[in-house]
Amino acid sequence: MASEFTVIIPMRAGSKGVPRKNLRSLAGTPLYRHSVDHALNLDASRIIVSTDIPTSELNLPGGVEVLRRPSQLADDDTKMSDVITHAVASCGIAGKVLLLQPTSPIRLLASSLECLAMLSDPHEDAMVMSVSLADRSVLKWGTIGPDGTFSSLAKDSSTCFANRQTLPQVYRPNGSLYAFYAERFAALSGFPTRKIYPLVLSPPYDVDVDTIEDFERCETILLSIKTIE
């Protein structure tokens, strides 16, 4: 197993896309419990659930700490960095932290352990983030500014005219795994992003649940995995 580390699981009661999303059943288990059970199987030193959901509505095993999140940190526009800052300061968290978002319920233990192992220097302003292969044609995209002109998303605007096959591979954050040192996070008041080390995940371990359709697709995947096991 990895060295000692803390798992933070942030979950709020509200949700625009799916009402009470984190409490909704997924393959017979509340969505949030998939991440809690994953953390338990990792043998984390501490498991902290940051939430505004009443404890009476949660089914948490012993050893899982509940941090009551103030209402101002449970809005639709609340930044995750503010939620983590609150947890680190309130719970006196030190050392490695693994952030598990409940909306990514399908994870391999090996991936989480690898994510933690990739974080090696506690003095480096760095973190590890899971990513997935994406469509490279995004490098041809851009925005339209106030003056009505097109600006390429890529640093080199000539990519707008390049053949897709000649463009470099592109990866997107999938929201499943984030690892960082609590001390660096606290010192920077946010994610240490000077260096971001990517951990590439393949389907179906990069699923993000946001809509009813995502729930249905994810449930099918989970049930198929259990059948194989």
pLDDT tens by residue, 105-152: 999 999 999 999 999 999 999 999 999 999 999 999 999 999 999 999
**Two tokens, residue 38:** 């994953």
Residue 161 lies in a domain: no
Residue 138 lies in a domain: no
Q: How far is CA 111 from the centre of its chain?
A: 13
Listing from the earlier edge strand, what are the strands of the sheet with 64-68? 64-68, 46-51, 5-11, 96-99, 170-181, 126-134, 195-200
Q: What CATH code is carried by the domain that includes residue 35?
A: 3.90.550.10
**Two tokens, residue 214:** 């995502």
How many domains is the chain built from?
Answer: 1
Residue 29 lies in a domain: yes
Residue 135 lies in a domain: no
Residue 137 lies in a domain: no
The SS3 call for residue 94 is: coil
**Two tokens, residue 32:** 């949030």
CA gap 9, 46 in Å, rounded: 11
CA gap 152, 26 in Å, rounded: 40
Q: What is the pLDDT of residue 88?
A: 96
Q: What is the pLDDT of residue 229?
A: 45
The tens place of each residue's pLDDT in the chain, 229 residues long, gives 446 999 999 998 877 767 788 999 999 999 999 999 999 999 899 999 999 999 989 989 988 999 999 888 888 888 999 999 999 999 999 999 999 999 999 999 999 999 999 999 999 999 999 999 999 999 999 999 999 999 998 888 888 898 988 898 999 999 999 999 999 999 999 999 999 999 999 988 998 998 899 999 999 998 887 654 4
**Two tokens, residue 14:** 């509200």
* Paired residues of 171 in beta bridges: 133
Q: What's the distance, Cα to Cα, between the start and end of the chain in Å?
A: 22
Q: Which whole-number Å values give the CA distances from 191 to 38, 73, 108, in the listed order?
A: 23, 17, 24
| DSSP letter (8 states) at residue 88 | H
Residue 19 lies in a domain: yes
CA gap 33, 30 in Å, rounded: 5
Q: What is the pLDDT of residue 1?
A: 44
Residue 198 lies in a domain: yes
Residue 139 lies in a domain: no
Residue 153 backbone zone (phi > 0: left; psi -120 to 50: alpha; other: beta): alpha
> Domain residues for 184?
5-130+173-228
**Two tokens, residue 37:** 């059970």
Q: What is the pLDDT of residue 82?
A: 95
